[in-house]
């Protein structure tokens, strides 16, 4: 079956349908990862987005339940150059097309994904529609002008109830961390469990008092989708937590922390999405390759009026990748420390968080 990708610029790309049939609307973005397509599909940070994979062959090792980052695919649509027809892997349970079809995700294959990436780099992220109904495509262009991509989507992907997870590294000092779930990935939770953290995961709109009543050693602000300025309840909660407990934020949590302390954010032209983003620690000058998925960033000028200072930079565009509080045990990074997918060079950040919590616990006890 034929399919088409219609962009708000009026550009129409024709290809073949795979996955579910019908129509889907979202913000078209690109991911530069060569592997990890299953993690991309199930990452809650992609809620509301149609994802184009720049690597040409996708689906070649199939789908398994181990690599899922949430209960289901979260993307609005999926774009690939070639979807492998005969995947092979010892863990494989089903193929990519069947997974998308069962989840109701509309996909398109057989288009020039690198040409599409150049269009996005030139124009910035674009609204788009994938459709298997090829009549009236020009009408879809007109309809796109009246559609807006939802930016307040955290409530859709956050947990609806509090739950707990035990530590996996019992030889380490057990530290209790409350995780504010703005759309967290399973690999991030697992990485913290392996760091010796006992986790209490709470919904995105949990108030400050309820979190403090759980008596945590620290608070973790998770990744998530959408415009950080829309997460007003979370920002208010974070404001109440600053100074009460050590705080570590990543991705969306990184942006929310800066907003809570008086900073500002802006929408990037096409964002950072992939497992190959070079980041430099400005203190040690060490460079790590990081996994990222975000379309917003912190405005550097806005930090002048806050107690935060810049600790990390992206070496591709010099955007802010990390901040710390000048006086309190509070810090955040724009990237994902765990490898899901991507490199694991930044797992040391969980050790830094543990040290801050241990120092806070010792000071609190004295």
Residues belonging to the active site = 251, 336, 338
* Pairing mode of beta strands 218-221, 247-250: parallel
Q: Which residue has the tokens 């990222």?
A: 292
What are the backbone angles phi and psi of residue 12, rounded to the nearest 5°? Answer: -120, 125
3-state secondary structure of 304: helix
Question: Is residue 223 exposed (0-12), middle (13-18) or buried (19+ Cβ within 10 Å)?
Answer: buried
Environment class of residue 65 by beta-carbon count within 10 Å: exposed (0-12), middle (13-18) or buried (19+)? exposed
**Residue 117 forms beta bridges with which residues?**
none
Q: Which residues of 147-179 are buried (b: 16+ CB within 10 A; e: fewer)?
A: eebebebbbebbbeeeeebebeeeeeeebbbbb
Task: Give the H/E segment covering residue 137.
Answer: helix 137-144
């Amino acid at each position: 079956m034929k399919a088409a990708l219609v962009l708000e610029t009026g550009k129409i790309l024709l290809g073949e349908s795979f996955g579910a049939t019908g129509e889907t609307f979202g913000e078209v973005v690109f991911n530069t990862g060569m592997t990890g397509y299953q993690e991309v599909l199930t990452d809650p940070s992609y809620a509301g987005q149609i994802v184009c994979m720049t690597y040409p062959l996708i689906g070649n090792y199939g789908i398994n339940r181990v690599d899922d980052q949430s209960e289901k695919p979260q993307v609005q649509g999926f774009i690939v150059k070639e979807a492998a027809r005969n995947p092979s892997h010892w863990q494989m349970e089903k193929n990519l097309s069947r997974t998308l079809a069962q989840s109701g995700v509309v996909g398109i294959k057989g288009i020039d994904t690198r040409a599409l990436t150049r269009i996005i780099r030139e124009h910035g992220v674009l609204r788009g529609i994938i459709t298997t109904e090829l009549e009236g495509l020009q009408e879809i262009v007109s309809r796109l002008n009246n559609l807006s991509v939802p930016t307040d989507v955290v409530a859709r992907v956050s947990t609806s109830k509090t739950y707990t997870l035990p530590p996996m590294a019992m030889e380490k000092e057990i530290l209790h961390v409350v995780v504010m779930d703005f759309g967290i990935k399973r690999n991030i939770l697992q990485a913290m469990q392996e760091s010796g953290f006992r986790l209490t995961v709470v919904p995105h709109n949990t108030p400050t008092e309820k979190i403090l009543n759980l008596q945590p050693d620290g608070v973790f602000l998770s990744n998530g989708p959408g415009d950080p300025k829309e997460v007003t309840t979370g920002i208010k909660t974070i404001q109440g937590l600053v100074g009460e407990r050590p705080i570590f934020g990543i991705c969306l949590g990184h942006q929310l922390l800066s907003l809570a302390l008086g900073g500002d954010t802006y929408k990037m032209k096409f964002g950072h999405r992939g497992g190959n983003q070079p980041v430099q620690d400005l203190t040690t000058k060490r460079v790590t390759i990081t996994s990222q998925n975000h379309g917003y960033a912190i405005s550097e000028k806005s930090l002048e009026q806050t107690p935060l200072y810049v600790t990390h930079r992206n070496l591709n565009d010099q955007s802010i990748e990390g901040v710390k509080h000048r006086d309190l045990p509070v810090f955040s990074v724009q990237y994902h420390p765990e490898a899901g997918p991507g490199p694991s060079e930044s797992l040391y950040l969980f050790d830094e968080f543990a040290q801050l919590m241990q120092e806070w616990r010792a000071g609190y006890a004295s």
